[in-house]
Structure 1
């Protein structure tokens, strides 16, 4: 049995536990709200149809790799939408994390940086380089950690912990790769082979950020998903840190239903999560301007207030199908791992992204 197999067996015991899915919050750049000027948009998109153009829900497990999952998930969506793959397509987030982390010492990345890196390095299949869901922080963590990173030090060691391989491999010639880590060469070559698909599918741009909300909704109405990065307000999500940070008593049923409300002004969630919250990235698969979400928030003075918000976005998450959203339903149909977030939350704290196809 190889070291990767031993590692995966050791990880299985925590695979079903509820895990903190934090990534560093890199800041938001909300889109301009020009919806009052756009009167021809539908009140509701065909969410079921767009969900049908998504790959399966994955889990990032204990690593802060949400942007890798949303980026790879979006490429999978484009491959499905353009008839280049079936809904069973499964690209490697491990590869995505590796090529981003070769010069980094902390988790987290931007969507635009991810897409530019895909355009340069291509993608590989999950079966080629399977995802490992446990963080590496020390050479003593797992045998595989020492095997892949034990010869490194300093920044290169930290990058190896994050990307799970020697960061220098990406720029080595073939002979050097074979002498350092022979298993990496076919992985790298598969990425380069798939560059042709990437470059015939998407446009290279400096930024993939969407600047107006009308563009966001127009894309969704036309059957194309978008990505949203946003700050995590734990109370609004009913995340486990709602209890940990003493924001308010957590309503776990809402977590399972995949309902995300809004951190009202004057609420404990607004202040505490604002100070301590991480970031997250989602694939948006539709909207409904008429959908009502009700919530109760604990205010700073200890009282409770009820709120009602009109309008939601529907999203595909990267937290698996056994926790957040495991009971999510739309029109009576179950979509485990999906959810809904109020448009007020998304518009104020979210940044939207989209790859323009050729």
Structure 2
């Protein structure tokens, strides 16, 4: 304990933090939705995106942690509470709690929407004010004084899970008396609130399902047309996003204007982006808030033969991101209305590389 106290003091003085910004999670591939759009004639060519954005909570930032699915899972639940229960848009549930729940049984970053929603069903939620999000990624104890305080006595898998979830994973299954012995009194309050909100918030709006996957693309657009958001998980193709790794991986010259405008195109066959990001790309998760089958976006891609080619894509999905409001999507607007932190992505990209999820109606 004396060693840990000294280490905490040294870290506080030197202010050692994990400074790398990592916008992605490990890519977890899932099956794609059936493309049945050609056989469904009843869908409108666009949804009311403005109305659906009004049913979202504020754009958050996952900062340097691979927690995008926590933000989309919590964001979707918040959206449905606003839409169906009349909650205020200021509702703010804790992504930190969900990340902790998932990491109690994991030693690596990344999760899936279905796994997250099952954890919420089983353990409930807490408010952000009760357990605020910590944007630091803890790779080792030296990354933060708080990491030393909370995880410094552990080793092996328990340490790995603690660093990822920012708290001792064993606390979840301990009795109140056992938790008192650890000295983490705050966790008892957190867990009590999660049980209370499980009854007040989760039950009645989140049914338990084996999978929350959407099987057909027509169902994705039907949900959006009816004013219900959808989650999509996908592989990141950096060049198509104009992500900072476009430069770092020497994919092609980065178009920062498109990055700030939140425009995501498509990794064409034969492009450098298709090859490099196909090998190096992580995963990401978004909340979809609309679609427009007539909207056209364009791109220029560096091809493997060294030439540049221009492409256009008809049909986009509109999305809410978890990268804050000062980077991707900073300048995004729709019909003259500014929505920082939102963006648009070609339907071709998501139909080929995306998997869709929803909380079904009870």
TM-score interval for Structure 1 and Structure 2 normalised by the shorter chain: over 0.9
Matched, 1:199 2:206: no
Structure 2: runs of 5 or more not aligned: 1-7
Q: 2:211 & 2:180 partners in 1: Cα distance?
A: 35
CA distance in 1 between counterparts of 2:18 and 2:161 reads 26
Q: CA deviation at 1:84?
A: 4.0
29, 35, 46: which is aligned to 1:27? 29
How far 1:28 sits from its partner (Å)?
A: 3.3
Q: Quick check: 1:97–1:163 contact (8 Å CA) kept in 2? A: yes
Q: How does 1:238-257 map to 2 (within 5 A)?
A: 238-257=242-261
Structure 1 unmatched runs, 5+ = none
From 159, 162, 165, the counterpart of 2:164? 162
Segment of structure 1 superposing worse, 141-150 or 18-27:
18-27
Aligned to 2:222: 218
> Which residue matches 1:44?
46
> Secondary structure at 2:316's aligned position in 1?
strand
CA distance in 2, matches of 1:269, 1:340: 19
Secondary structure of the residue aligned to 2:273 is: helix
Q: Structure 1 residue 321 and structure 2 residue 343: aligned?
A: no
- Tell me the TM-score normalized by structure 1: 0.95
Does the Cα contact within 8 Å between 1:169 and 1:177 map onto a contact in 2? yes
Question: 1:276: which partner in 2?
Answer: 280
**Counterparts of 1:115 and 1:249, CA distance in 2:** 39
TM-score when normalising by structure 2: 0.94
Partner of 2:5: none
- Secondary structure at the residue paired with 1:201? coil
Q: What SS does the aligned partner of 1:230 have?
A: strand
SS in 1 for 2:250: coil
* More displaced 10-residue stretch of structure 1: 20-29 or 106-115: 20-29
Out of 183, 187, 204, the position equivalent to 2:186 is: 183
Instruction: Write the distance in 1 (CA, Å) between the matches of 2:348 and 2:142.
Output: 45
Query: Residue 316 and residue 89 in structure 1: after superposition, are their counterparts in 2 closer, same or farther (change >3 A)?
Result: same
Quote the Cα distance in structure 1 between the aligned partners of 2:146 and 2:78.
29
1:13 deviates by 11
CA distance in 2, matches of 1:120, 1:312: 35
Is 1:298 equivalent to 2:302 in the alignment? yes
Is the contact made by 1:289 and 1:310 (CA closer than 8 Å) also made in structure 2?
Answer: yes
Contact 2:124 2:197 (C-alpha < 8 Å) held by counterparts: yes
1:209 aligns with 2:213: yes
> How much has 1:83 moved relative to structure 2?
2.8
Which residue pairs with 1:67 in the alignment?
69
| Distance in 2 of aligned mates of 1:312 and 1:43 | 11
Determine the C-alpha separation between the residues in 1 that align with 2:338 and 2:286: 19
- Residues 69 and 112, structure 2, Cα contact 8 Å, conserved in 1: yes
2:269 alignment counterpart: 265
> Are the structure 2 counterparts of residues 253 and 65 from structure 1 closer, same or farther at C-alpha, using a change threshold of 3 Å?
same
Q: Which runs of 4+ in 1 moved over 4 A?
A: 10-14
Q: Compute the RMSD of aligned alpha carbons.
A: 1.7
| Secondary structure of the structure 2 residue equivalent to 1:284 | strand
Partner residue, 1:146? 148
Q: Is the 8 Å Cα contact of residues 20 and 240 (structure 1) preserved in structure 2?
A: no
Q: Distance in 2 between matches of 1:131 and 1:25?
A: 22
Residue from 92, 95, 98 that aligns with 2:97:
95
| Contact 1:11–1:134 under 8 Å retained in 2 | no
On the 8 A contact 2:81/2:87 being kept in 1, the answer is yes
Name the CA distance, whole Å, in 2 between partners of 1:55 and 1:12.
29
Decide which moves more: 313-322 or 84-93.
84-93
Separation of aligned partners in 2, 1:35 and 1:357: 22
Aligned residues: 350
